[in-house]
Amino acid sequence: MQEPSHRDAVDFLMRAPEYEDASALEHAFARVLAGLGVNAYSCSKQDSRRPGGPPVVMAQRGLDQWDQYMADQGYFAVNPCVRWTAMGRGAFTWREVQAELRRSGEASEREQELWAEAAENGLHDGLVVRTVAPAGQVLSTRMVTRAPRIRTGDRALLESLAIIFATLRHRFHEQAADSPLNATLTRREAECLRWAAQGLHDYEIAERLGISGNTVRNHMQNAMRKLSAPSRLAAYYRALSLGALD
């Protein structure tokens, strides 16, 4: 007999491709993780074409402050989990990393400070799952618990959840990057388009918005470029149809 939390997780694994958008997927993933005692997660990708570049965070819940703190303290440079992920380890827990470093005697003072600070912030154990997307991007999912440790019995389930989630979330991320909606208009660009569609000249729009005529022209050109539209009117209708003026 499966525990209810495991039942939910298996349901997620069996139905995950049916989620139609990234937010529904993230919501379901977070709910399933909460059932398994995981309080925070982060899913990022490292582009294989730019291995030295910063990872792109695709989804995150509950780890933003901690990550900001780690960045401020320079902890990312000494974080052994980052090293292990770069080395190609498939999945590992923080406990395993700590045990390995203790055994080998390689743990530095800074690393020990990092673990101590994580514990002080209620982040006691985590599972890091690394997987590789077909185009070579490294997808890394961190799942962190406030409980003393990730339960051994949940490990396979969490690893599978992370892989399925990262795969689908990455797909949504790529789709969004390819979509014209990615060309999100700024507030000013949208305002300029709206007024232009009502037949106002640039100087009239400039007056209403309290900006110069040149700035209006720049906003218009940016909007047309983002929407690949040949004219201002075409840009307006394209933005309207894509919901970019909502």
Partner 1 sequence: MIHVVTAQNRHLYKSQLWQMFQLRKRHYVDERGWAELWQFGSAELDDSDDERAVYMMELGPAEELLGFVRIRPTDDHSILVDKFPYLIDPSLLPLKGPGTWEGARIWVESGVPNPHAAMHRLLTACAEHILARDGERLLAFIDVHNIPHLSDGALEFTMTGAPAPYRYGVMAGVKHELSEEAVCRMRDSLGEPPPLTYEVEDEDVDLHGCLARVQREVDLARTADLGTAKVDFATPAKTKARINALFAQHDACFPEPRARLRAPGLRLLEGDGGRA
Name the residues that contact partner 1, by CB under 8 A.
2, 6, 9-10, 13-17, 90, 131-135, 139, 155-157, 159-160, 163-164, 166-167, 170-171
Which of 220, 221, 222, 173 has its CA nearest to residue 196?
A: 220
| 242: Cβ contacts below 8 Å, ≥ 6 apart | 180, 181, 227
Of 13 and 101, which has the nearer Cβ to partner 1?
A: 13
Nearest-approach distance from CB 159 to partner 1, in angstroms = 5
Residue that has been written with the tokens 């110069």 in this structure? 212
The minimum distance between CB 171 and partner 1, in angstroms, equals 7
> Taking Cα atoms as reference points, which of 186, 194, 196, 183 lies closest to residue 226?
183
Taking the least distance from each CB to partner 1, the nearer of 16 and 25 is: 16
Minimum separation from the CB atom of position 13 to partner 1 (A): 4
Which residue, 13 or 78, has its beta carbon nearer to partner 1? 13
- For 204-243, b/e burial (b = at least 16 CB within 10 A) is ebbeeeebeeebbeebbebbbebbebeebeebbebbeebe
Q: Least separation, in Å, of the C-beta of 73 and partner 1? A: 32
Q: Which is nearer to partner 1, 54 or 136 (CB)?
A: 136
Which 8-state DSSP code applies to residue 77? Answer: G
Residue placing its CB nearer to partner 1 in the complex, 77 or 135: 135
Q: What token pair was written down for 125?
A: 């154990």
* Residue with Cβ nearer partner 1 (74 or 153): 153
Write down the least CB distance from residue 149 to partner 1, Å: 17
Which tokens in the block code for residue 238? 């394209």
State how far the Cα of 157 lies from the Cα of 75, in Å rounded to an integer.
29
Helices (H), 16-108: 22-35, 64-73, 80-86, 94-104
To partner 1, the closest distance from the beta carbon of 89 in angstroms equals: 11
β 138-145/125-132 pair status: antiparallel
Nearest-angstrom CA–CA distance, 117 and 93: 17
